[in-house]
Copies of this chain bind each other. A is one copy, B any other.
Amino acid sequence: MRELALLQHIYGNNTLLPECITIPPGDDMGGIQIGDTHLLVSTDQLIEDVHFNAQTPLEFIARKAVARNLSDVAAMAATPVGAVATACLPKRMHQAQAYQLCDEMRRWSERYSCPLFGGDIAIAGSKLHIALTVFAKPGDRGAVRRSGAEPGDIVFVSGQFGGAWTGPSGPVSRDFTFEPRIELARRLAEHPDFQVNSMIDVSDGLARDFKRICEMSGVFGQLDGSLVPVHSSAHVAASGDGLPAFIHALKDGEDYELCFTVSEEAASGVLKEIEGVPITRVGRILETATRLHAGEIQILGVDGEILSINDLGWEHHI
């Protein structure tokens, strides 16, 4: 099955949604107006043998379930308010493990000021499945969308990219211990010197997720591979398969860092670091008048050459 085609099919019906739906499917969170409240909602699954395995400690399964959703909240520069969860527990799970999982889900939700206040539990099958739904309220300037990038914008990222599943050493890899950039995003979005035009959290790889900004904004984007901050884990990954580390940083995913755009005039005001996390300029939205390139991206290699899809080691078109 082609997941991308299915998503396009769903987005194609967005026009059928009523007016109260302020943000339809296709962004990091959905939005709905209920009375005076603009409610943002994100829902995400964590599935055994897809996102974790039977050996992953329950603490880190719970943490990832919560943190992944909160990374979507960060991508809109919103503030979490609460969550509900479903869990389908495998029949092999012991009572004590089930208690622990529920306790850890509650603990990690609390940690991010996002209290878990409802849910549904089933006991069935052989694989653990968790679905978490998180509610948030937008900041004073409103939710930051994927669709707001403008020609001329400068592209920034938080943190470093690549090889998230390779390390650092410890019981689990970085894709289980990342911090959702909620506070960082809020400080970006509320900064008096610039406005964040568009933002996304990077879960499927920097290039892929930046392309989503370009698609939703109808612009032509460029990432400069020589500027992308490369995580030490990307070098570990590179030593394993021979691909350059910066290619891993562009394509690997599970980084849960932010990618955002700011107008060229305001870009010099963007801080170099927020809460100890570096903010790095990695590209720009090109000034192009042609519709031909809307939604497309161009990636430059370390010597400024334009890379082809094959250079990125992708099996499928991004």
Give the interface of A toward B (CB within 8 A): 1-3, 5-7, 9-10, 13, 16-18, 20-21, 23-25, 29-32, 34-37, 39, 41-45, 47, 49-50, 81-82, 84-86, 88-89, 91, 93-95, 98-99, 102-103, 106, 110, 115, 117-125, 127, 129, 131, 133, 135, 137
Contact = CB atoms under 8 A, between A and B. Distances in A.
A102 B135 CA distance: 23
A98 B6 contact: yes
B127 A125 contact: yes
Given A106-B16, A115-B18, A119-B25, A88 B133 contact: no
A137 B84 CA distance: 16
A231 B44 CA distance: 39
B93 A124 contact: no
Contacts of A137: 34-35
B118 A1 contact: no
B43 A86 contact: yes
A270 to B, nearest CB: 29
Nearest to A113: B18
A197 B157 CA distance: 54
A135 B38 CA distance: 13
A118 B219 CA distance: 24
Contact of A133 (B45, B84, B102, B115): B84
A2 B106 contact: no
A122 B47 CA distance: 9
Contact of A135 (B3, B39, B131): B39
B88 A21 contact: no
Query: Top 9 A-B pairs ranked by shortest CB distance?
Result: A30-B118, A131-B131, A37-B37, A133-B133, A30-B117, A86-B131, A43-B84, A21-B117, A45-B86
Given A1-B98, A6-B99, A34-B39, A21 B125 contact: no
A1 to B, nearest CB: 5
The CB with the most chain B CB atoms within 10 A, among A49, A89, A93, A121, is that of A121
Contact of A117 (B25, B45, B94, B115): B25
A86 to B, nearest CB: 4
Contacts of A18: 115
A2 B95 contact: yes
Contact of A121 (B3, B13, B24, B95): B3
A13 B106 contact: yes
A50 B81 contact: no
A117 B24 contact: yes
